[in-house]
């Protein structure tokens, strides 16, 4: 009965997602760890389509299955916390995020067989499911190392499929693609002991958003400039107040967790360490990476609160309310970007992304309300003022000014984008740089053509008398001038 009520709550929370559209990254194939990452955005019309109702039902069902396995393994309180936690929306309401829910499903099933059948048969079944987990996303890479601490020796058999996966073509190609993003950046990306400081800060951030999921979104500025700006790199690698606060949080959760639920504590810290930035294996910090590790914290706090019904009710109510308001973020692409603008007003790239989306939709639909284009102009101006040294923002500002017919400003912003991008990506040979250089060439040609047409419209009319004066004996009554003006204005620009 308990499980039935929890699953009914999950369905109630996510039933409205049946008509949600595709959003960011939904065109990227995730199996095999994204070793074919598209470098060009899909056609903007893609974001006007939606997956089938059946696929949406599958996504909600996958979250329900994960909740059910948690219930069978550890009881109703951890399952309830996991069911209503807003981070669950990332894996249930977002198509791409559902890959992380699928990884979690295969990982939980593998753990179930290893703990309920601690023999060769359980190990064989677990290895099959763990192999499937690895081919969904990389979130489960660290999973076998949990069994170094839990006293389940059969779990170490999972090192066999892990070794096969890490030496396979998919992973090697995928990891090379991801690591290449930091190659030739202005700031060195080599690992040093100071990286442990960064890792502590990252893990503490994951703990914080799991315990206090007040601000959830897609793109965060945290860690974005690590290999682009020396001052940011030094601050992230410094034992400053942020580090000591992060260290204290990790230590407190670690000690309390080992007392309350050792397996949950090991589960969280082992699995989240994959995304602690010992090396960049994806987006520097993303809410979706917390879906699988979150189970460990739910075990700790579910166990701690199970005998305190009032506190547990308060926690469940607050998490449910946050989920209710967070699920619509994944309704469509515009909702995703608007949530980032509202949640992270200090992030200039949030304004940039929203403006870019409006411009893309204007190209798709052909006609966009004036107020919406004004909104895009406002957001782009705000982004440029906040971060004038971003090539992406300068590039999108160029696109906006060109859409408004201001080719000169478009060329200016394009050249500024090239200037800012060159130290990061080098010269030609990269997709963004090639596109920017092509845009610069095209705008230069169009401006010259425009100047030529304008110059022709300003030249003396061939209909004038040979002496160059007006027909009325040199006096200009204004009529000829007026006609020329009208002709000039009607010239195409």
pTM: 0.83
Query: Dihedral angle at the C-alpha atoms of 278, 283, 286, 291, nearest 10 degrees?
Result: -70
Q: What is the pLDDT of residue 423?
A: 75
DSSP class per residue in 222-285: TTTTTTT-HHHHHHHTS-SHHHHHHHHHHHHHHHHHHHH-HHHHHHHHHHHGGGSSSS--SSSS
Residue ranges of the domains in the chain? Answer: 2-329, 345-457
Question: CB atoms < 10 A from the CB of 255, how many?
Answer: 11
Q: What is the pLDDT of residue 48?
A: 86
Contact 79, 6 (CB under 8 A): yes
- Using alpha carbons, select from 399, 413, 388 the residue that is nearest to residue 358: 399
pLDDT, the chain, mean: 85
Helices (H) and strands (E) in the chain, counts: 21, 0
* Helix residue spans in 15-87 (DSSP H): 53-74, 76-84
304: left (phi over 0), alpha (psi -120 to 50) or beta: alpha
pLDDT in tens, 77-124: 999 999 999 999 999 999 989 999 999 999 999 999 999 999 999 999
Contacts 24+ apart (CB under 8 A), 125-132: 126/154, 126/155, 126/157, 126/158, 127/157, 127/158, 127/160, 127/161, 130/106, 130/158, 130/161, 130/162, 131/161, 131/164, 131/165, 132/106
The CA distance from 195 to 276, in Å, is: 10
Asked if pLDDT for residue 365 goes beyond 90, the answer is: no
Backbone angles phi, psi at 308, to 5 degrees: -125, 80
12 vs 461: which has the higher pLDDT: 12
Q: What is the pLDDT of residue 232?
A: 82
Domain 345-457 falls in which CATH fold?
Answer: 1.25.40
pLDDT in tens, 128-167: 999 999 988 889 999 999 999 988 899 999 999 999 998 8
Contact 155, 146 (CB under 8 A): yes
The CA distance from 143 to 130, in Å, is: 9
Q: Residue 251 contacts by C-beta under 8 Å, 6 or more apart in sequence? A: none
pLDDT in tens, 303-348: 999 999 999 999 999 999 999 999 999 999 999 999 999 999 999 9
Asked if pLDDT for residue 58 goes beyond 90, the answer is: yes
Polymer length in residues for the chain: 493
pLDDT in tens, 408-453: 899 999 999 888 888 766 555 567 788 888 888 888 988 888 888 8
Q: What is the pLDDT of residue 430?
A: 67
Give the end-to-end CA distance of the chain in Å, rounded to a whole number: 71
Place of tokens 């955005």: 41
DSSP 39: S
């Amino acid at each position: 009965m308990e499980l039935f009520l929890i699953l009914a709550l999950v369905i109630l929370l996510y039933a409205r997602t049946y008509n949600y559209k595709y959003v960011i990254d939904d065109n990227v194939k995730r199996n095999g760890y994204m070793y074919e990452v598209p470098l060009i955005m899909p056609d903007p019309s893609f974001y006007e389509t939606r997956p089938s109702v059946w696929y949406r039902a599958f996504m909600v069902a996958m979250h329900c299955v994960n909740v059910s396995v948690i219930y069978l393994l550890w009881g109703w309180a951890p399952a309830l916390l996991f069911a209503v936690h807003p981070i669950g929306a990332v894996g249930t309401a977002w198509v791409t995020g559902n890959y992380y829910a699928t990884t979690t499903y295969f990982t939980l099933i593998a753990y179930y067989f290893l703990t309920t059948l601690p023999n060769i048969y359980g190990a064989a079944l677990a290895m099959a499911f763990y192999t499937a987990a690895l081919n969904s996303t990389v979130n489960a890479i660290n999973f076998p190392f949990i069994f170094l601490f839990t006293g389940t020796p059969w779990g170490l058999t999972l090192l066999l499929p892990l070794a096969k996966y890490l030496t396979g073509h998919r992973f090697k190609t995928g990891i090379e693609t991801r690591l290449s993003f930091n190659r030739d950046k202005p700031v060195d990306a080599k690992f040093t002991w100071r990286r442990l400081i960064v890792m502590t800060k990252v893990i503490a951030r994951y703990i914080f958003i799991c315990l206090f999921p007040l601000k959830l979104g897609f793109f965060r500025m945290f860690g974005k400039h690590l290999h682009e700006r020396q001052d940011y790199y030094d601050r992230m690698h410094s034992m400053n107040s942020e580090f000591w606060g992060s260290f204290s949080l990790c230590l407190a959760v670690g000690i309390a967790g080992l007392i309350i639920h050792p397996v949950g504590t090991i589960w969280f810290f082992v699995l989240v360490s994959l995304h602690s930035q010992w090396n960049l294996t994806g987006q520097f910090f993303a809410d979706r990476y917390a879906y699988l590790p979150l189970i460990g914290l739910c075990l700790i706090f579910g166990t701690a609160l199970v005998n305190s019904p009032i506190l547990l009710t308060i926690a469940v109510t607050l998490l449910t309310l946050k989920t209710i308001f967070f699920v619509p973020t994944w309704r469509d692409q515009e909702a995703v970007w608007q949530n980032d603008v509202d949640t992270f007003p200090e992030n200039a790239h949030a304004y940039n992304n929203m403006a870019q989306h409006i411009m893309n939709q204007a190209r798709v639909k052909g006609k966009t309300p004036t107020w919406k284009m004004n909104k895009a102009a406002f957001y782009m101006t705000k982004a440029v003022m906040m971060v004038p040294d971003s090539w992406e923002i300068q590039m999108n500002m160029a696109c906006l000014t060109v859409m408004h017919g201001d080719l000169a400003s478009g060329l200016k912003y394009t050249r500024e984008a090239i200037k800012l991008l060159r130290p990061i990506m080098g010269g030609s040979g990269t997709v963004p740089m090639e596109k920017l250089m092509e845009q610069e060439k095209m705008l230069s040609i169009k401006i010259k053509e425009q100047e030529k047409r304008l110059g022709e419209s300003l030249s003396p009319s061939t209909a004038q008398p040979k002496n160059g004066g007006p027909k009325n004996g040199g006096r200009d009554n204004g009529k000829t001038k007026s006609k020329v003006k009208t002709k000039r204005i009607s010239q195409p620009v």
